[in-house]
Every structure is written in structure tokens, then in C-alpha cells.
Structure 1
């Protein structure tokens, strides 16, 4: 009798399964770094490429939070405030992304919208990391299992965009 195993490549250190909060924190850090890079970008081409990456990262991040993380946290905490507020903030971020994707990267409105997007994201990240994540850690949720599900969904969403 032969057994078949799933063919996988050896995971890189960055592909080691992370718990849900570590995965979200890593996303927050990556997007923050992209916004910082945008601030020093000189050419419209550079700005457009960075913003495209920011928009993809944020779109995928918000989707995995809304599909997997938030429902689990809402149920575990019996939350009626943190998750709904975060969902409203996501709607604002998505609206700005749609506006930014519809204009050319030259001009003050483009820079202004990217700046406001950056500020919204910083505010949202601060609330998640200072309020939601500490409360999430107090639950009986299996954060590693949640992280594995979120990472798989993230990979699926990124592959669909490629």
C-alpha cells in the first residue's frame, strides 16, 4: 500500500504558522512600512506602485479580518462595540481605496487621499492592537488555528489578484 503525501515546499521562516494576532500585527507592520516608503517616494510611477501594493494589502487584510477574525472575536467576547466599530472603519478604508484607485498619482488630491488613508489605518491599527487584541488573548479561542485559517485565506485572495 502506498501513501501519498501532499507536495509542499519547505516553508520559509516567514511562512511558519503564526497565531491570528501575530499575522495581523505583521500585516499592520508591512502596510505601515509601505506608507513610510510612500512619503519619501519622488516619482508618480513609484507612488502608484506603492499605493497599488498598499491597496492590495489592505483589501486582503480587511477581508480576512471580516470573514474570519472578527466573527470569532465577536462571538468569543460577546462583543457589541469593538467589532462593529472596526467594521465601520473598514468601510471608510475601502471607500478611500476605491477613490484612490480611480485617480492618477499626480496632484494634491492623490497625496491627500493617501495621507488620509494612512491616518485612518494608523487609528484603526492602534485600536486593534491596544484594545481588541488584548481582549482577544483572554478568550479560549485557538489563535494558532485561527491564524492558519487566516493565512490560507490570505494566500488564496492574493493568488486570485495575481
Structure 2
């Protein structure tokens, strides 16, 4: 067998191994959606200001990290795969609108008259964005990027840890300010699972 053929086979085998060990990027995006929506559903108008702020801050931080990961890793991969771009055209503007509402919320207090309304507006935008991605973009990705889903998932896991690490104190502060136990355990479990899978993949590759 020629050296070039052996190298090609090794790359194919490595990619297959990565895909089998790493959560796919599309499943990671779905998990992010589920986690944020679970936080949304914990929010009640009658909750204490402390709990409201903890939930809003947690949701906003998760959305910021999620949007950055999609824009750095997922969207470029999709553009390179030559999709028609219909959903992609809306995705970044929708992220920017979410960021606008997040900035507005961070300049308010939970006792402000428009606080609940602003968070509900953010929730509606996120639900619309999630519906677009889960009905169109993610199925397209699983068709067009089927040989790269695990590789991209590992890349997203690694980048998520880099982005989230400086904000660990912010997450801890949110939990202490009244984050419900179920949400705290869900978020902590997601972080631990991501860390385990990333380390497992790295140790296997070495």
C-alpha cells in the first residue's frame, strides 16, 4: 500500500473514532436548547426578585455562550457545505437581537415594570430561533456534515470550556442567588459530561 493511501486510511479511521467518542455538534446544540428552555420554564412572575435575576442571568449567559459557539464553529462549517443559506441568513441577526435584549435586561432590576415583559420577549425570540434550527438547520447539518459531526462536536466542547472557564464565578453567583436546585444540577451535569467526554476523546487520541 502506498504511503499516501495509508495516510488517507489513518485519517479516515481517526475521524471515525472521533465521531464515535464525541457527541455530535447537532446533538450538543439540541442539548443547549433544552437546557435554556428548561431555565425559561422555571421563571414565574410570582417568583422572588432574587430567583428571577438568577434565572435570567443563567439563561442570558447560556445564550451568549451558545451563540458564540455557533458563530465560531457551526455556522462556518455549514456555509462551507454550500447550503442554500435560507436559515443561515436569519440566524446571526436573531443572535444580535437576543444580545440586544440581554443587554437591556442586564441594565434593569427584577422589580422594574418592564423586566418580566422583556424576558418574555427574549423567550419568544429564542423559541422562534430554536424552531428554525431544529426543523431545518440541524437536519440539514446531519445530512451535509455527517462525516464531521463528532469532530465538530469535540471542537465545540473544547471551545465551550475555554469560553465558560472565566465565567465560572458568575455561574456560582447565580446559583447562590436562588437558582432552583433542578436547574443547578442540570447545568452542572452538562459541564461535567462535556469535560468527561472531551478528556476521554483526548486520552484516546494520545
Give 3-state SS (helix, strand or coil) of 1:133's partner: helix
Residue aligning to 1:113? 118
Which structure 1 segments of 5+ residues have no match?
Answer: 1-15
* Residue 38 (str. 1) matches residue 9 (str. 2): no
Corresponding pairs, count: 147
* Residue 152 (str. 1) matches residue 158 (str. 2): yes
1:109 Cα deviation after fit = 0.5
Residue aligning to 1:68? 73
What does residue range 1-162 of structure 1 map to in structure 2 within 5 Å? 17-39=22-44, 42-140=47-145, 141-162=147-168
**TM-score w.r.t. structure 2 length?**
0.68
1:79 Cα deviation after fit = 3.7
Richer in helix (by share): 2
Query: What root-mean-square deviation, in Å, do the aligned CA atoms of Structure 1 and Structure 2 show?
Result: 1.4
The structure whose Rg is larger is 2
Distance 1:84 1:72 in 2: 14
1:40 Cα deviation after fit = 6.2
Distance 1:80 1:42 in 2: 41
Deviations 1:116-148 (A, max 9, x none): 000000000000000101111111450011011
**TM-score w.r.t. structure 1 length?**
0.86
Judge conservation of contact 1:73–1:79 (CA < 8 Å) in 2.
Answer: no
Which structure 2 segments of 5+ residues have no match?
Answer: 1-20, 169-206
Distance 1:41 1:60 in 2: 28
1:41 Cα deviation after fit = 5.8
Distance 2:113 2:38 in 1: 22
- Which deviates further from its counterpart, 134-143 or 18-27? 134-143
